[in-house]
Each structure stands twice: as structure tokens, then as C-alpha cells.
Structure 1
Amino acid sequence: MMPRPSASAALPRRRVSAFTGLDVCETAGLRLAPGAARVLFEQDRWVLSAPIDAHRMVLDRELTWEFTDILNPRWRTVTKEILLALLVPQHGAVLECAHAIRSVRSPRTCFRFLQQLTDWFNWLTSQAVTRLGDVTQHLCERYLEERHWSMPVPGEPRRRLEPKTMAEVVRAMQLPLLYGELLSGDGYAEGFAPWDGKPASTVMGLKLGGPNRVPPVPDLVLQPLLATCLYLVNVVGPHVADLLGEVRAEADSGQALPRVTKEHVPAVRHVLTPTELPPRSGADSASVIWTRGSRLSPT
């Protein structure tokens, strides 16, 4: 359970953000492509310009963070402070937060939190709430119930979203609590913790470590696949390794190697023999693949 601050605990707000004037990418250790524009903390639009070490699945839109989508300007600063704290958990100001997340979060994860915080803060604005200190548990529960339903689709009934999806919503709502000592613009009231600081998985009744939702591969597919893999590793693999060793030895000998063109590639003699794999379940005949029956050698 996340510890809940006592009502007597003092959480003085910083007059100036601890991140004022910092280069976001430099502070977070994100290596950008040469010539990329700097991203300063005060800017309301952070364009991370494709970090060199970014995962290949990261989309361009996930690296452009638009804080002007948050209607309340005060909460834009709050969101920036939280997101940068997630990127740099070892920063001195973040270490002062007793309940802060201590592991580094990726830009992609931070982008999801940006979306969740934007929705949460804008919903509060729609309810005429202008200070996070006025947030109550009743408001949290009302928002969670509204978010619990899928977007309306013409001709289809709305459905309740999965607990795993909603747990992320709860985590985002609890972030201002975790970084209360860091926030300069605004924050929850002293002593207030959404759901009394219970983990998001507990709030949503999420059971962790359940059975695998992906069905097992049937033997009809799995057994021939495993047999083929074993053949490639145990029979074909050693020949390929020997051939690779010869190529490396020739390269190390200093011999002038021909240009890699179709005309200069030496012919390779393949001796092929049919090899039967174990019969598949329910099959009348065995699977047959053609494999190299002898070591590859130049002609």
C-alpha cells in the first residue's frame, strides 16, 4: 500500500520549479540526433526529435508532448514536473519525494501518462475545479466511473473497459500524490490520497500473475516446428559455422577478396537429400524437407 501522508504533514510548495531552465533531453540522458533542437523545461511543447536510443516501435507522435492541451496553465507545470521526474528519478529534487517512483520510465510510458493526466485535469476543469487542493475522493470516483466506459459507437452498446486499462487511469490520478514535495504550481491537499493510497491494481481488483491468455500451440503445428528447429541447430548449424570460420580466416589472412557482386560470388555445390521429420499428429504421411546432406563446399 502506498503510504498516506498524515494531515499534519507539511507539504510546502516550491516558489520556483526545481527544473527551471533545464534542458529536458540532457537532464534525462536522452541522446538526440545531431542538430536536433533543444527542449527547455519552460516550453509548452516538447519535441524529443527521435532519440538515438529510442525503441524502434516508438511512434513520432509519442515523442511530441503538447502541454497546451491542458486547459489550466497551472497544471501544465505540474504535468511537466511529474513527467521529467519519471525520466530522471535520481535527480536531487526527485529524491526528496518520499514516495516517488525510483525506476526510470521510458518516453513512451511518459507519453501515456501525459494523455491520462491531460484527460484527468481537463475533466476537473469541466467540473469547475481550479485547484488540485479541492480534489476529493468523490470526484476521483466519479471520474473513474465515467472513464470506465468505452467511447460510444453508433449502433453499438458501450462496454466497460478492462481492469488493466483502468488501473493506468488510477495510477495517473495518484501521481500528484507521489510527487507532492516536488510540485511548485499546485498539488493535492495535505493528507489527501486518492483511494487512501491503495495500489491501482487493488483499486481495480486486478489479479496479477494470472493464467496466460494466449492459447497453447497445438501439437499439429508445434511438433514439426520443433523438429525443424532441432535439425537446423544440430545438423545444418555446424556446417554453417565451419563455412563462416573459413570466410573469416581468409579475411584475416590479408588476401584481396573479390568485390561482392553476382559475377564474383563463387559457385557453391549443394548436396541435397530428403530427410523425413517426425509425422504430424493426424497426418497420413511424414513431413519432408530438403536438407544439405553434406558439408557445403566451393566447386
Structure 2
Amino acid sequence: MALTRRISSSIPHYFGFAERSFKSYKLPGGPSSSSSLTHGIHVFHCPDQVGIVAKLSERIASRGGNILGADIFVPEKKNVFYSRNEFLFDPVKWPREQMDEDFLNLSKLFSATRSVVRVPDLDPKFKIGILASKQDHCLVDLLHRWQEGRLPVEITCVISNHERGPNTHVIRFLERNNIPYHYLNTTKENKREGEMLELVLDTDFLVLARYMQILSGNFLRTYGKDVINIHHGLLPSFKGGNPSKQAFDAGVKLIGATSHFVTEELDSGPIIEQMVERVSHRDNLESFVQKSENLERQCLAKAMRSYCELRVLPYEENRTVVF
């Protein structure tokens, strides 16, 4: 059993951010000269030892910062420490470059594997590319959440192996919001991955919104950053085509959705989020599918928010800590 230490309940509850362990995300130039307080997030992953919490707290307090909430996880019988702090600070009194230096010094002191700080109000939003196939439900949901400001990302493009007509809901939405749509007709012989890589070169991570193609190991290694996937929670029992009908015909009573990081092993990457819902004999196939799709929408959106808010950290070989 893992030992969890949690400090403060005032704040609601990171995989790799590939190759960015000690990097902050900054806008060009310095922060505003305003004395208003700003919200910051810091995540820390290092070997466990006495005094880490005290040093982190002292550093924030010494710069006039105020910790709003802290999550700490120390697995039982494992020499590893995880934390996520949310704090308020004055960017005039604690300039961003100084903040970076302070946390970098703590990283060196504790031989940290990962130390990342983010200031949502000052930092550029994460740039993402969305990959989708024929099914629209997850793609449409992400687009509307983005439009309403509920997803802290910048959508640079939507890529699909399914051609959508000029008057479809998705295409009209993308045109209104100046988001490029790229149709890449894929085959078994040509997955168009080279073209895809060129399109997503400047993104921070990718989202597979029911993209029904397998990304090759070469694609994942070349891209080198995180890829988040969503699929129904009926695997591994109901494989192949029309899994919802298979599950419905089998009379299952519990359905779900799983969002995870994409690895070379199909559907086996570290899990970020899972959701479940009961179904019954009163459900017909239509209501069964609707419930399944609703879970997929919610699960993917929640996983993305957790990732953007630095709530997801790698744990052991194929697990995650999600604060």
C-alpha cells in the first residue's frame, strides 16, 4: 500500500513533457510591472529524503509567495518523492528568471528527476495537434470546450484520415476559428506519417480524438513528445469492429473509457484517467452507445486538463501519479 501525504484541501486535486524536466514556459520579455498576485504551479520528483517539503516551502515563502495547496506522494518502501504545489506570488518581487533559478537550485540540491514550474496567466498555452478519424464525438467536444475557454491549449491543426465536406459542422467550426484541417488519405502501405510529423513539428503534445490508426514506433520516437489517446473501456474483451454492439449483445453491466499515453505497445501506455458507468437491461443499443461516447468525451477532456495543469507524473515503468 502506498503512503500518501496530502497538505491542504483548498485546491482541487505530469507525464514527461518530453525532455523538459527543468524547463519553465515563459513569454518573451518579463512579467508585467503590476503588483497583482499571480498563480503558479510547481511539480517535483526526486529521491526521498528528510527536509524536501521544508526547503520547497521555505523557498516559496522567502520570495513572498503563499502556498495555496500541496499534494505529496511517497510510495511505501520506495525511495522516491513526488509533490505538486500551487502558490500565489508577486511577479515583480519574484521575477520569472529568478523563480527558474531558485527551483533549479533545489533540483540540484535534491538530485531531482523532474522539476517544472508553470504560471498559467503568463505562460503561452500548450500547442496541440488533434488527430481524428470518422467519429466526431470526441473531436467536437474538444473544439467546443476550447471555444468556451475550458481547455488551456492552442489548437494548431486537426489532422484526419477521413475527408469531411465543406459544409459539415466540424469544417465550418474550424474555418470560423482559423484552425487548419488536413486530410491525409492513409493506406496500409502508406500511413502518411512523414507528412504528419511536418504538420505537428511545433506542437507540445498530440491528442488522438478517436484516431483509428496505429502510430508507428518510428513516428513516436521521431516526434519525441507525449501523445494522449482515448478509447472505450470494453477492451480487451470486445476487440475488432463494433465493440459496443458486441458488449451490448453480451449483456455487460459496466462500461467505461480510458485515456492513456501512447507507447509502441498498442493500448498499453500509462493510464491518465478512467471513467465508468452502469448500464442495464433497460438500455437499448442506441442509449448504450451514447453513454459510452459520453464517457469518452469526459475522460479525454479531463485527462488533457490534468496534463496541462501538471497533475500527471510518471511512476515506475508504466504507471502514473495523478494529483
Greater C-alpha radius of gyration: 1
- TM normalised by structure 1 equals 0.23
Which protein has the bigger strand share? Answer: 2
Which protein has the bigger helix share? Answer: 1
